[in-house]
Structure 1
Amino acid sequence: MINYIIQVILFQVLFVAVYDFFLSKETFFNKNRWYLLSTALLSFVLPLFKISTVKKAVPQEYYTLLPEVMLSPQKVIEETIWYQSINYLDVLFWGGCTLFLIVFLIKLERIVRLVLQYGTILKGNYKLVLLPKETKAFSFFNYIFLGKEIPSSKQEKIIQHELVHSEQKHTLDLLFFEFLKIVMWFNPMVYVYQNRISLVHEYISDAIASKSDKKENYINHLLADIFQVEHISFINQFYKHSLIKKRIIMMTKTQSKKVKQLKYLLLIPLLGSMILYTACSSEEVKIDKVEKQPVTVYKSEDGKIVKKPSTGYQSKYLDLYLGDELPNTKEYSIYELTEEEKGEYLALLNGFNKEGKPQLNIRVFKAENGRKMVAFDYLGKNENQGKTNYQDSEEVPFAMMDKVPTFPGCAEGDKYCFHKSMSRFVQENFDMSITKNLGLSEGKKRIYVQFKISKQGKVIDVKARAPHPTLKQHAEEIMQKLPQMQPGEKDGKIVSTGYVIPITLNVD
């Protein structure tokens, strides 16, 4: 979710930058209005837009699978202090949403109160609300609020101006950004957007209302008096002192030439780059379901992978590769395996990589007929290891590192202590009580958490897959709390490395 919010804000910054530098000075007011509305909406949609062909073209990162962490309801720590289980970011977010919703409702109540208190006068296609002892002038949908103290000679011009707001439904635009402010109150770009579109509304109304009279006379009306302003952000106000100078400049500006509308074509490369960015940053992979089949054993002959005659193997989800060199077919990441394949892979990994045994890197490659096969890469003994694409990369698999990251309290480069410390951290911090009200069926449930330890030793890029959104969020929050570690090394250089830690829950 944090990545999504960051992308939304980034896209809005880019859209507004294009508007400010290339479009805001042009007199295509209605087009600018729709530009601001559409790009504000697009910024929320684009991060969800994915192109599968682009995602396939992006090389996948290698993540090492850590030993499985087993949890059960009996593991719940009874003495956990209540305030340690509170997600303060959630409290801050929902507290802000609640506050801005209350502010919005107060503004709405003030408008409703004015209508009920002073009544309305039906004037054709609008309703006039006269405010005694006031010089305010603003509109809200087809309601025009007019202070009785405004000279009668100026009332008609103000009404004409506000009628444009009413007829073009400008209030809907402002309400749209008010709702955005409720759910994204922390996003400064929402306020920037609302400011920009309020100014465009005034340009549109000025352009239409000034046609019935000389522009000089209309401008004189703007400058003649300084009226009071009702400070409600989702109403169209005739007098906003900070905007008067800009409105006058735009009214006296020469009409923009039609050829300058080509500037809107800047959206095409901008949208293209945004879609490419979001397509490349996706972590979700669609996985086809597989069934158990008798294991096929493969080997390598003259650089080709061939089937090896074998008997007596039971049915499995994964086939087996026993060649002297690693296969040259597609290699799969942990996220491209089905739950059944992951379980089988996990059992192999935990079975071979125990304390006191040689470290073994088990990798999964493409076999025939859509199946996958496991290959055993004995570290330091495989001639093909030196040919991997990790040699020149800043991200190196855990098992291929000269010195692995060091968990606080462990001896430098101690893999066994690293595994144990990671498992203990998850067991101590995972709150099993949250599984009680999620409607999960009984039995084992698996969560896979992917993360990296950067060259600075910090835990970054935390992502999880889980059978329920609450479990996914909780698992990600736990891994984000991991302490800073001493980063790993490869060939004398400090490098980052990625991990996937499987968490198995026994749900009663």
Structure 2
Amino acid sequence: MINYIIQVVLFQVLFVAVYDFFLSKETFFNKNRWYLLSTALLSFVLPLFKISTVQKAVPQEYYTLLPEVVLSPQKVIEAAVWYQSINYLDVLFWSGCILFLIVFSVKLERIIRLVLRYGTTRKDNYKLILLPKETKAFSFFNYIFLGNDIPSQKREKIIQHELVHSEEKHTIDLLFFEFLKIVMWFNPMVYVYQNRISLVHEYISDAVASKSDKKENYINHLLADIFQVEHISFINQFYKHSLIKKRIIMMTKTQSKKVRQLKYLLLIPLLGSMILYTACSSEEVKMNKVEKQPVTVYKSEDGKIVKKPSTGYQSKYLDLFLGKELPNTKEYSIDELTEEEKGEYLALLNGFNKEGMPQLNIRVFEAENGRKMVAFDFMGKNENQEKTNYQDSEEVPFSMMDKVPTFPGCVEGDKTCFNRSLQEFVQENFDTSIANGLGLDSGKKRLYVRFKIDKKGNVTDIKVRAPHPTLKLHVEELAQKLPQMQPGEKDGKIVATGFVLPITFNVE
């Protein structure tokens, strides 16, 4: 969620920057209005946009799932008192939403109170509310509010101006950003957007209202007196001192040439780069909850995958594929499995890959009805396939190496010592006490650390999937402390390899 919010803010900054530098000085006011509205919406949609073809174009990376590190209950969190179990970020977020909802409600109540208190005079296409002893002038939908102390000769121009706001439904634009301020009160770009579109609204109304008279006369009406201002962000105000200078500059500006509309084409490369960024981002995939079901066994017959009746299997999260050839359905990476599926996959992998047993690569493929199935790939069985896949690669799977990376203090290429040393390092450096006060539910928790050991033996490309951002940061720092190792080898060449390390602990 945090990654999503950061992307939304980043995209809004880029959209506003393009507007300020290239579009704000042009007289295409209606186009600028729709630019601001559409890009504000796009910034929320783009982070959700994924292109599978782009993702498939990224070179395949090989990661080996290491034995799970289980932290002893004695080292795990003690029962937290009530104030330690509160998620203060959630409290802060919802408190802000409630506060801004109250502020919005108070402003709306002020407008309703004005209507009920002073009554309305129904006109052809608007309703007029006269405010006694006031010089304010503003509109809200088709309600136009005029101070009774405004000279009668100025009222007609003000009403013409405010009628444009009413007919163009400018209030809807402002209310849209007002609602965004409630749910994203912490995002400064929402306020920037609202300020920009308020000014565009005034440009639009000025352009229409000034056509019925000389622009000089219209400008003189703006400058003649100092009027009061109503401090409500979602109404269109005729007199707003901070905007009058900009409005006058824009009214006296020469009409922009139509060729300048080509500037809007800047959106194409900007949107393309944003889509490419989100498509290739490493944000974890949202997964549906799975349930245990009786295991379905799949086999390959004449190039087709068929179901076979299964007996003797308990209900599992994963189905089973048995066959000499691997299935031709979609293959899933470890990160694409749910927590339940990962646990089952991990137990299966650790059960087979023991000392003295043939090394298996257990892979996960798409089955039917949203289920996934495991398939056994015997490593090294097909030498030609091995050469095809890994001969020219700088990154090789752990199980395909001639000599695996060596942890400091271990005998060169000792896989058992590597796994044991890695587990001991985590047990000594993982501070389970930091989970106090994170608001996690009690019970077993699991996180995953993905990293590579490059050709120099350094630990790189660290990525963590954890149940809380604080735990994620802590584990990233832990992985960065891993010592430099002796890199692995394949066919006499030094190569890199990737790992996924599961860590399990209990929250009580």
Same fold (TM over 0.5): yes
1:361-376 residue pairs with structure 2 within 5 A?
363-364=361-362, 372-375=375-378
- TM-superposed CA distance for 1:434, in Å, is 3.6
**Is 1:484 the counterpart of 2:481 in the alignment?**
no
Q: Is 2:61–2:395's contact at 8 Å kept on the other side of the alignment? A: no
Q: Secondary structure at the match of 1:317?
A: strand
Shift of 1:55: 1.1
Q: CA deviation at 1:343?
A: 5.2
Identity in percent: 66
Structure-2 separation of matches of 1:358 and 1:403 = 21
What is the one-letter code of the residue matched to 1:317?
L
In the other structure, the counterpart of 2:316 is: none
SS in structure 1 of the partner of residue 502 of structure 2: strand
Q: Which amino acid aligns with 1:107?
A: K
Give the aligned partner of residue 37 of structure 2: 37
Rounded Cα–Cα distance in structure 2 between residues aligned with 1:453 and 1:479: 17
Among 320, 329, 338, the alignment partner of 1:317 is 320
C-alpha offsets along residues 388-411 of structure 1, whole Å, 9 cap, x if unaligned?
5338xxxxx9x955448xxxxxxx
TM alignment of 1:419-438, pairs within 5 A: 419-420=426-427, 425=432, 434=441
**TM-score normalized with structure 2 length:** 0.73
State the partner residue of 1:471. none
Deviations 1:242-268 (CA, angstroms, capped at 9, x unpaired): 111111111011111111111111111
Q: Structure 1 residues 427, 363: closer, same or farther in 2, change over 3 A? A: farther
Give the corresponding residue for 1:463. Answer: 465
Distance, in Å, in 2 between the alignment partners of 1:360 and 1:478 is 36
CA distance in 2 between partners of 1:333 and 1:422 (Å): 28
Q: What is the correspondence of 1:164-179 to structure 2 with a 5 Å cutoff?
A: 164-179=164-179
Is 1:242 the counterpart of 2:249? The answer is no
Question: CA shift at 1:499, angstroms?
Answer: 3.4
Q: CA deviation at 1:359?
A: 13
Does 2:411 correspond to 1:416? no
**Partner residue in 2 for 1:284:** 285
What's the offset of the Cα at 1:362?
Answer: 6.2
SS in 2 for 1:7: helix
Query: How far 1:462 moved relative to its partner?
Result: 3.9
Distance 2:434 2:205 in 1: 63
| Structure 2 counterpart of 1:499, one-letter code | V
1:276 corresponds to which letter in structure 2?
L
Does the Cα contact within 8 Å between 1:69 and 1:427 map onto a contact in 2? no
Structure 1 residue 239: deviation in Å?
1.1
Counterparts in 2 of 1:427 and 1:117: CA distance versus 1, 3 Å:
closer
Alpha-carbon shift at residue 350 of structure 1 (Å): 3.1
1:388 and 1:246 mapped to 2: Cα distance?
61
- Kept in 1: contact 2:362–2:377 (CA 8 A): yes
Is the contact made by 1:331 and 1:364 (CA closer than 8 Å) also made in structure 2? Answer: no
Q: How does 1:180-199 map to 2 (within 5 A)?
A: 180-199=180-199
Q: Distance in 2 between matches of 1:190 and 1:360?
A: 59
Q: 1:426·1:478 contact (CA, 8 Å) conserved in 2?
A: no
> In structure 1, what is the Cα distance between the partners aligned to 2:453 and 2:140?
53
Which stretch of structure 1 is more off in the superposition, 102-111 or 478-487? 478-487
RMSD: 4.8
The alignment partner of 1:53 has SS state of helix
Asked whether the equivalents of residues 430 and 478 of structure 1 are also in contact (C-alpha less than 8 Å), the reply is: no
Q: 1:361 to 1:259 in 2, by over 3 A?
A: farther
- Counterpart of 2:108? 108
Q: Is the 8 A contact 1:458 1:483 kept in 2?
A: no
Q: 1:109 to 1:62 in 2, by over 3 A?
A: farther
Tell me the amino acid that sits aligned with residue 226 of structure 1: I
Return closer, same or farther for 1:340/1:62 CA change in 2, 3 Å cut-off: same
Given that residues 178 and 234 in structure 2 are in contact (C-alpha distance below 8 angstroms), is that contact kept between their aligned partners in structure 1? yes
Deviations 1:264-288 (A, max 9, x none): 1111111111111111125438999
Change in Cα spacing, 1:112 to 1:447, as seen in structure 2 (3 Å) is: same
C-alpha separation between the residues in 2 aligned to 1:284 and 1:152? 63
Cα 1:146–1:337 shift into 2, 3 Å: closer
Partner of 2:304: none
Post-superposition shift, 1:48? 0.8
CA shift, 1:129, in A, is 0.9
Aligned to 1:501: 502
Q: Report the TM-score when normalising by structure 1.
A: 0.73
In 1: Cα distance, 2:341 partner to 2:145 partner: 68
Shift of residue 94 of structure 1?
0.9
**Where in structure 2 are the equivalents of 1:380-459 lying within 5 Å?**
388-390=393-395, 401-403=405-407, 414-420=421-427, 425=432, 434=441, 449=448
SS at the partner of 1:130?
A: strand
Shift of 1:125: 0.9
Aligned to 1:335: 335
SS at match of 1:415: helix
Q: How many residues align?
A: 449
User: Are positions 1:205 and 2:205 aligned together?
Assistant: yes
The answer to whether the Cα contact below 8 Å between 1:331 and 1:363 also exists between their aligned partners in 2 is no
Distance 1:107 1:402, change over 3 A: farther
Counterpart code for 2:272: G
Distance in 2, Cα, partners of 1:223 & 1:147: 17
Asked if structure 2 preserves the Cα contact closer than 8 Å seen for 1:429 and 1:478, the reply is: no
Aligned to 1:311: none
**Residues in 1 aligned to 2:357 and 2:10: alpha-carbon distance in whole angstroms:** 43
Consecutive unaligned residues in structure 2, runs of 5 or more: 302-311, 314-318, 325-329, 368-372, 381-385, 409-419, 488-495
